[in-house]
Amino acid sequence: MINSQGKRVVVTGLGAITPIGNTLTEYWEGLLSGRNGIAPITLFDSSRHACQFAGEVKGFDPHKYLERKEAKRMDRFSQFAVAASKEALKDAQLVINDLNSQQVGVVIGTGIGGLKVLEDQQEILLTKGPDRCSPFMIPMMIANMAAGLTAIHTGAKGPNSCTVTACASGANAIGDALRLIQLGYAQAMICGGTEAAVTSLSVAGFAAARALSFRNHDPAHASRPFDRDRDGFVLGEGAGILILEELQHALSRGARIYAEIVGYGMTCDAYHMTSPVPGGQGAAIAMQLAIEDAHLTPEQVSYINAHGTSTTANDVTETAAIKKALGEYAYKVAISSTKSMTGHLLGGSGGIEAVASVMAVANDRIPPTINLENPDPACDLDYVPHHSRAQKVDVALSNSFGFGGHNVTLVFKKYSQ
């Protein structure tokens, strides 16, 4: 157990750039209404690909947040991170200045980083020669640049790092930010995940691994977590950012508090590069550790935002893990996968799903799992199918699992003095 020195940490700001909305309000309303963000790919010509659809961010204008010259020197994943971070800071009404800049840090995770830049520059190398490659290729491509550029564009001079744990990256970033505040290294943190991997090479690679859905005739129903007819995940893109603050710091400036972040658990399956360990023991222990870290019991959990990828391996394994972690109470807790609407944002998923979990706590509303038409008999829990649910949400867990066996669970709780 971490020695948190009694420091409490709260969520005071949220930002989201997603396939179903580019503001917090749009995203949350989209989740509650069951909006589907999956459609044919427009970012590149996918006609030769086995999978031809994704959850693309639509109508995103980087120039709303960045000067044209600056935006041109960033990969899309960094643009998303800076945009969502600025939205979150605005939402928190947190102004970073010379007096507090050393006490505000950034941890932003990504699973892949600037893949589109790498693809483009490889094409230039092959067709025009090495002398034509961009001098900005490396800083545009490397994974840490989302965190670095966010600091540059917000003035946050405190702790700064990047988590790269595949699809657990965003959740790890939030958990690590929690620890930095608890241990006194910062008073506030900008944290979450970002990804922009809807590219030709990425889609080809995931398709070759048989990880993606190939439902090209019906993209809107392709992401169907816990459904018997699921055939793979749907790639998505975007960013989700949280502003975490030490409680007294937030109270001293009169900040609005969405929720308190009270638990962080992480484990590794140490089993396989891409497959979860059968039975979900690693994921179950991550949930148990997070609940213990929060000083709660399983029976106090109201809602679980599941990793819920719509893959054969994950959905059955996560269901088993929830049963191991919660026991018989697993059948009484509400669970949903918002990936049914957004697709899978890889390293960005932990970010936008933490945002969804916080909003569920703040608003006592649970987003649905859409497209759950024929439940898998092995997935027999309450996945809140089709429609959102009005229900008191005192405690929410957010699960994120990644290739390499990474398991992360975050716990959010209603704030009370």
Among candidate residues 167, 191, 249, 379, the one labeled active-site is 167
Res 5: pLDDT: 56
The residue annotated as part of the active site, out of 153, 249, 307, 406, is: 307
167 catalytic residue (yes or no): yes
Q: Residue 80, Cα to own-chain centre: how many angstroms?
A: 13
272 labelled catalytic: no
Of 143, 206, 167, give the one whose Cα is nearest residue 346: 167
Catalytic residue among 153, 162, 191, 344: 344
Claim: this prediction has a pTM higher than 0.95: yes
pLDDT in tens, the chain (417 residues): 444 557 999 999 999 999 999 999 999 999 999 999 999 999 999 999 999 999 999 999 999 999 999 999 999 999 999 999 999 999 999 999 999 999 999 999 999 999 999 999 999 999 999 999 999 999 999 999 999 999 999 999 999 999 999 999 999 999 999 999 999 999 999 999 999 999 999 999 999 999 999 999 999 999 999 999 999 999 999 999 999 999 999 999 999 999 999 999 999 999 999 999 999 999 999 999 999 999 999 999 999 999 999 999 999 999 999 999 999 999 999 999 999 999 999 999 999 999 999 999 999 999 999 999 999 999 999 999 999 999 999 999 999 999 999 999 999 999 998
51 is catalytic: no
CB atoms within 10 A of CB 42: 11
Give me the pLDDT at residue 322, please: 98
pLDDT at 6: 74
